[in-house]
Amino acid sequence: MTRYFSQEHEWIEIEGDLGTVGITDYAQGQLGDITFVDLPEAGATFGKGDSVAVVDSVKAASDVYTPVSGTIAEANGALTDEPELVNTQAETGGWLFRIRLSDASELEALMDEAAYKQYVESL
């Protein structure tokens, strides 16, 4: 599996034509304690950069943007009862949604882990 990162602090892990998307550990740290996550419906179609989900925290509500175009395959239902998983497992069990890619070439515009780490250090 290959993982990519966006400048908006989303990560996407690719397996075949399916991408699992979440927010980075850096992003959850900036948000503080997550209190609610509004997830997309399976079957909904989005374009790259569209707002797909909303993460509410004690500090603010933040949109989550899809790093690629596609159709939502699944949302992480565990977050309904345990939104804090986004804090404790941001880049593993706290994933937000899975999207079936409609254009894999969009991945080329994203950063690899080393580039993302360098990007965060420059902030």
Q: What are 3-33's pLDDT values in tens digits?
A: 999 999 999 999 999 999 999 999 999 999 9
Find the distance separating the first CA and the last CA of the chain, reported in whole Å.
28
The confidence band for 1, taking pLDDT boundaries of 50, 70 and 90, is confident
Cβ atoms 22, 53 nearer than 8 A: no
Domain ranges of the chain: 2-109
**Domain formed by 2-109, architecture:** Beta Barrel (2.40)
Global pTM reads 0.96
Distance CA 22, CA 28 (A): 10
Return d(Cα 80, Cα 40) in angstroms, integer. 12
Tell me the CA distances in angstroms from 85 to 33, 71, 89, 118, one per residue in order.
10, 24, 5, 26
pLDDT in tens, 52-106: 999 999 999 999 999 999 999 999 999 999 999 999 999 999 999 999 999 999 9
Q: State how far the Cα of 38 lies from the Cα of 63, in Å rounded to an integer.
A: 9
